[in-house]
Amino acid sequence: MASPQLENGFTEIAHEIVENLMRTHLTSNQWQVLMCIFRKTFGWHKTFDYISNSQIVEATGLCKAVVSRSLKTLDDMNLIKRKGKIIGFQKDWEQWQKLAESSTLGTKLAESSTLGTKLAESSTVENTEKLAISSTELAGSSTKVSRTANQQNIKDTLTKDNIVFPDWLNKETWNAFLEMRKGIKKPVTPFAETLLIKRLTKLKEDGNDPTLVIERTIENSWQGLFPLNDANMKGDNNGHKSNIKDW
């Protein structure tokens, strides 16, 4: 049983910083990287320290590409200050709060209760039509769905750092699935990854073990995600399934 004690070490963070971070929209990956920076600076009573990407990878369990993108985003938002591998936290929250609030896409995604089913109206565009994408559309309808200008904009601007991962999703297994897709020359775009996560969520709600669904997909080199009890699904060499759209 874990028994953390302050006398074994602690990280001091001013309440004012914590309170303003609570109003800042960050992805789970960005939070992990930021916590690592706190630990390696404030945790040692330092303002800056030499922190390599590999150190963050080891501490967070994230892959190098995710760490690199998260650092760039945190730097763009002015939440951190860095020169090469010398990294520190920007304590002047007035400098980064404005930048965080000006990120229209980040605000919309953070305020959305369920990514892929509801996207909040942009605060910078008047009379923007609310977007609603039904679960059946995301599951893969064979009928081509027309998109509004705002939907197309979201698809074009969505990046890895904007994707919201559910707590129950096994990141290691999911990354292995993405690597398999690259191996069969069918890499997954950020928008397609969002649709696949939505599909996996539906399968989980229907009683399928999401980890087993992904593992079976990897084993068969399929493009899509299918119910575990779907024994009639047979794919060709490219992993296509009848009557179901792959991304």
Percent of the chain beyond pLDDT 90?
Answer: 37
**pLDDT for 236:** 44
**Residue 36 confidence (pLDDT) above 90:** yes
Asked if the structure places residue 4 within a domain, the reply is: no
Contact status, residue 114 vs residue 93, Cβ threshold 8 Å: no
Q: CA Rg, the chain, in Å? A: 20
pLDDT band of 197, cuts 50, 70, 90: very high
**Residue 117 confidence (pLDDT) above 60:** no
Percent of the chain beyond pLDDT 70?
Answer: 67
Asked if the structure places residue 162 within a domain, the reply is: yes
Tens of pLDDT, residues 55-71:
999 999 999 999 999 99
Asked if the structure places residue 3 within a domain, the reply is: no
pLDDT band of 140, cuts 50, 70, 90: low
Asked if the structure places residue 107 within a domain, the reply is: yes
Same domain, residue pair 83 and 18 = yes
Asked if the structure places residue 237 within a domain, the reply is: yes
**Residue 238 confidence (pLDDT) above 60:** no
**Residue 115 confidence (pLDDT) above 80:** no
Tens of pLDDT, residues 141-162:
545 555 555 556 555 566 767 7
- How are beta strands 48-50 and 86-89 bridged, if at all? antiparallel
Contact status, residue 128 vs residue 121, Cβ threshold 8 Å: yes
Same domain, residue pair 67 and 115 = no
Number of structural domains the chain divides into: 2
Same domain, residue pair 89 and 152 = no
Same domain, residue pair 121 and 233 = yes
Same domain, residue pair 113 and 197 = yes
User: What is the average per-residue pLDDT within 163-168?
Assistant: 86
**pLDDT for 244:** 39
**pLDDT for 190:** 87
CATH number of the CATH domain containing 77: 1.10.10.10
**pLDDT for 214:** 93
Last residue of a domain, one of 100, 120, 143: 100
Question: φ and ψ at 100, to 5 degrees?
Answer: -65, -40
Same domain, residue pair 122 and 213 = yes
Asked if the structure places residue 161 within a domain, the reply is: yes
**Residue 101 confidence (pLDDT) above 90:** no
Distance CA 113, CA 164 (A): 11
CA 233, 236, 239 angle in degrees (round to 5)?
Answer: 75
Distance CA 237, CA 221 (A): 9
Higher-pLDDT residue of 1, 115:
1
Same domain, residue pair 107 and 96 = no
Same domain, residue pair 210 and 107 = yes
Same domain, residue pair 133 and 165 = yes
pLDDT band of 196, cuts 50, 70, 90: very high
Last residue of a domain, one of 53, 81, 100: 100
Q: How far is CA 109 from CA 26, 27, 114, 161, in A?
A: 10, 9, 9, 11
Residue 221 one-letter amino acid: S
**Residue 113 confidence (pLDDT) above 70:** no
Asked if the structure places residue 5 within a domain, the reply is: no
Distance CA 200, CA 133 (A): 16
Asked if the structure places residue 42 within a domain, the reply is: yes
Task: Residue 96: give the domain boundaries.
Answer: 10-100
Same domain, residue pair 83 and 121 = no
Quote the tokens at residue 62: 């994230």
Contact status, residue 99 vs residue 90, Cβ threshold 8 Å: no
Last residue of a domain, one of 69, 100, 131: 100
Same domain, residue pair 48 and 91 = yes
Same domain, residue pair 179 and 71 = no
pLDDT band of 100, cuts 50, 70, 90: very low
